[in-house]
Amino acid sequence: MRTRWLIGAVTAAVIALFMAQLAPEAQAPETGAPPSTQGGRGARGGRGAAGDQGSGRAARGGRRGGRPARESKPTPRWPDGRVNLSQVPGIKGFWNVGTGSPIGPAGLPGNLTVDQVPFQDWARALYDYRRSRGGLDDPHARCQPAGGMRFFTVPNGMEIIDQPELQRIFIIDGENRDWRRIAMEPGRKHPPEDQLVPSYFGDSIGHWEGDTLVVDTVGYNEKFWFIRGGLPHTRFMHLVERFTRTDFDTLKYEVTIDDKGAYTRPWSGGWNIPWQYENYDGSPGGEIHEYFCIDNERDSADFAGR
Amino acid sequence: MRCSIPAVLVVACLLAAPLATRTSAHHSFAAEYDANKPVHLSGAVTKIEWTNPHVYFYVDVKDETSGKVTNWAFEMGAPAVIARTGWTRTTMKIGDLVIVDGSQAKSGRPHGNARSVTMASTGKKLGAGSSQYTEPQ
């Protein structure tokens, strides 16, 4: 009898886990999360329930192979005391990007729900249309570059290469071997608008606020969806991104979307990105692998004519 | 019949493990595939493309009524994704008989998203890194 009870309990747990996997994130209600207001980022932080959902799921990815969860080591620092946002000597790995969203429950506790996003009417209508098409019109589905913050939601590893002696930081992505360059020269300004060539990654300048890297970017083109769900943006989009390594295994990514073309006011969101010690496929190594989306892209043949 | 607790847990974990692997394709499942068009097909593997963004394999499927053979293409996850569910480049070879469960493309072509692949010779069933349940917001 006891064994039967146990089998029943374990089966129920497995079914519950299975159902949890089936639950589309888009439909998961966000409960208990207070509406975030502009500039309300300070109310966020830490790893609350919703944040844990995002980071916890990904953190399992960072500990594949059935190893038990472990306490994270403290935030690493360079010998001069500056925070180290990437690998440290003797410990390989990378940031396991790919599961976060600036809205909804796959992110920080203060993330807005879709209905709380301050869309302009046309932007909400376009977002709903994109959703109704099941992502068919997503340029990245045809392997176009993952621009803007989409860079951090494509799942092939990310490293932050800090070169203070050159006053620049590179962020490299396994996805298509893409990279971003953050100019760190003090006092650096963006080029005048008439000299900015609209691009997928824009013009980024950064500075440190304590242990947080703050990156300001303008100059985006309109040829990408900045998150996979299809939130619209325009050439006016201005992103302020904040990177905080809250402990060794966690990079808190917060972003403010300021786009007067698509939203009625700036709004913020974020998610936690976990450190991955193994290769992305779970094998030992901790190194980013090659991923070119265009290599054997066969999906667009099915998209055509629909 | 005795059934030890650890054995029960091991079996449960084995059952749950493939399901717990969340994957993220470069496109949404719904953009291309129809969850209401499930397919359960078997045949011999004719080609394998161990590539990004998806591993593809092709199977000659014979219609038992007409005898007509159709070459189906099946998408799996990226190589690094399905490696987590036990795949290696030599798991499936040309000529192997396989049973595929998945969903057909909305286009109606003989093209599907594989959810699992069962090797007919051994009965071993492997998850295929399907993106079906990972629709983002």
Q: Is the pLDDT of residue B19 over 50?
A: no
Q: Quick check: ipTM above 0.90?
A: no
A254 within domain boundaries: yes
Is A291 in CB contact (< 8 Å) with chain B? yes
A194 within domain boundaries: yes
A contacts of B107 (beta carbons < 8 Å): 301-302, 305-306
**pLDDT for the residue numbered B18:** 39
Is A24 in CB contact (< 8 Å) with chain B? yes
Looking at residue A24, what DSSP letter applies?
-
| pLDDT, tens digit (0-9, with 9 covering 90-100), for B89-114 | 999 999 999 999 999 999 999 999 99
A42 within domain boundaries: no
Per-position DSSP letters for chain B, written without gaps between them: ----HHHHHHHHHHHHHHHH-----SS-HHHHEEEEEEEEEEEEEEEEE--SS--EEEEEEE-TTT--EEEEEEE---HHHHHTTT--TTSS-TT-EEEEEEEEETT-SSEEEEEEEEETTT--EEE----TT----
What is the average per-residue pLDDT within B50-61?
A: 96
A116 within domain boundaries: yes
B contacts of A295 (beta carbons < 8 Å): 51-53
Q: Is the pLDDT of residue A52 over 50?
A: no
Q: Decide if A136 and B12 are in contact by the 8 Å CB cutoff.
A: no
Looking at residue A77, what DSSP letter applies?
B
A44 within domain boundaries: no
Q: Is the pLDDT of residue B76 over 50?
A: yes
Nearest residue of B to residue A137, measured between CA atoms: B31
Q: Decide if A154 and B84 are in contact by the 8 Å CB cutoff.
A: no
A141 within domain boundaries: yes
Q: Decide if B22 and A57 are in contact by the 8 Å CB cutoff.
A: yes
A144 within domain boundaries: yes
Mean pLDDT (chain A) is 82
Quote the minimal CA–CA distance from A291 to chain B in Å.
6
Quote the minimal CA–CA distance from A202 to chain B in Å.
22
- Both tokens assigned to A169: 């930081």
Q: Which of residues 162-221 of A touch B (CB under 8 A)?
A: none
Question: pTM for the full model?
Answer: 0.78
Is B88 in CB contact (< 8 Å) with chain A? no
**pLDDT for the residue numbered A298:** 87
Q: Decide if A17 and B16 are in contact by the 8 Å CB cutoff.
A: yes
Q: Is the pLDDT of residue A84 over 80?
A: yes
Domains of chain B plus CATH, in order, are 23-127 (2.40.50.140)
What kind and span of H or E run contains A7? helix A2-22
| pLDDT, tens digit (0-9, with 9 covering 90-100), for A93-116 | 999 998 899 999 889 999 999 999
| pLDDT, tens digit (0-9, with 9 covering 90-100), for A209-229 | 999 999 999 999 999 999 999
Q: Is the pLDDT of residue A276 over 80?
A: yes
Cβ(A205)–Cβ(A190) below 8 Å: yes
Domain region containing A277: 90-292
Provide the number of structural domains found in chain A: 1
- Both tokens assigned to A62: 């960072």
**In the beta sheet, which residues pair with residue B103?**
B38, B113
Cβ neighbours, 10 Å, residue A189: 10
